Chain A
Amino acid sequence: AQSVTQLGSHVSVSEGALVLLRCNYSSSVPPYLFWYVQYPNQGLQLLLKYTSAATLVKGINGFEAEFKKSETSFHLTKPSAHMSDAAEYFCAVSEGFTGGGNKLTFGTGTQLKVEL
């Protein structure tokens, strides 16, 4: 079974500082990897996804992530944090079902706090 591990359940950064949220995956086949963001009282929204086209993936709101097979990592970064980035971030890996379709397995999430 595939899985993801997010290191650090809480991360705090100053506004304007680099954001780095860590994600490591476990997969027996080339994975599809995703980062989702959840704002308070809302559902999850896709930030970006890796589908084997390019190892550096750019997403919305200035976020990007780099797929590193040798490190089995897919860390999320943003050069300069903004107050509006405060949210919970989930890394996820997708595997296919024999009968078709996908099964998205989420990490435990990282709560990002941005301070003035």
Chain B
Amino acid sequence: DAGVIQSPRHEVTEMGQEVTLRCKPISGHNSLFWYRQTMMRGLELLIYFNNNVPIDDSGMPEDRFSAKMPNASFSTLKIQPSEPRDSAVYFCASSPRGSANEKLFFGSGTQLSVL
């Protein structure tokens, strides 16, 4: 299994531009998570999908952030317009059933730099 695949690995953009991060979860996994990691705030859960349906998006910072999961094998996280404070590493993770005692499988992350 290829694991959770994220693209791009690195993204450098200018303030005001639209940024789209992509994630392919492990085949057969029903739950997908987007996390953001920064030095100041650590790992924050942004949004969580179960069976392609957003269950909790309370961690999404503001309306500039949006996430979609059009099918079981693909999800996107979009920032429009981007700001320098959005610079962080964004991780996608998936789990088989989304049970509370399951482990999460993480992708390698997207390092986003907004200039």
Q: Are B48 and A101 in contact (CB under 8 A)?
A: yes
Query: Which residues of chain B have C-beta atoms less than 8 A from A97's C-beta?
Result: 48, 50, 55-56
**Which residue of chain A is the closest to B40 with respect to CB atoms?**
A108
| B103 contacts chain A at the CB level, 8 A cutoff | yes
Query: Which residues of chain B have C-beta atoms less than 8 A from A102's C-beta?
Result: 31, 95, 98-102
Q: A43-B108, A107-B42 are in contact. List 8 more A-B contacts (CB 8 A).
A: A44-B106, A101-B48, A102-B98, A102-B100, A103-B45, A103-B56, A106-B42, A109-B42
Partner of A94, one of B93, B101, B109: B101
Query: Which residues of chain B have C-beta atoms less than 8 A from A51's C-beta?
Result: 101
Partner-B contacts on A (CB < 8 A): 32, 34, 41-46, 49, 51, 90, 94-97, 99-109
Q: Are A96 and B100 in contact (CB under 8 A)?
A: yes
Partner-A contacts on B (CB < 8 A): 4, 31, 33, 42-43, 45, 48, 50, 55-56, 91, 93, 95, 98-104, 106-109
**Which residue of chain A is the closest to B33 with respect to CB atoms?**
A104
**Which residue of chain A is the closest to B41 with respect to CB atoms?**
A108
Contacts between the two chains (Cβ within 8 Å), count: 67
Q: Are B104 and A99 in contact (CB under 8 A)?
A: no
**Which residue of chain B is the closest to A29 with respect to CB atoms?**
B100
**How far, in whole Å, are A45 and B48 apart by their CA atoms in the complex?**
19
Query: Which residues of chain B have C-beta atoms less than 8 A from A109's C-beta?
Result: 42-43
**How far, in whole Å, are A101 and B43 apart by their CA atoms in the complex?**
19
Q: Are A101 and B50 in contact (CB under 8 A)?
A: yes
Q: What would 16 A/B residue contacts be, using CB atoms closer than 8 Å?
A: A34-B103, A42-B108, A42-B109, A44-B91, A44-B104, A44-B106, A49-B101, A94-B101, A100-B98, A101-B50, A101-B55, A102-B98, A102-B100, A104-B33, A104-B45, A106-B43
Q: Are B43 and A103 in contact (CB under 8 A)?
A: no
Q: Are B100 and A43 in contact (CB under 8 A)?
A: no
Query: Which residues of chain A have C-beta atoms less than 8 A from B33's C-beta?
Result: 104
**How far, in whole Å, are A50 and B48 apart by their CA atoms in the complex?**
22
Q: How far is the CB of A97 from chain B (nearest CB, A)?
A: 6
Q: Are A99 and B50 in contact (CB under 8 A)?
A: yes
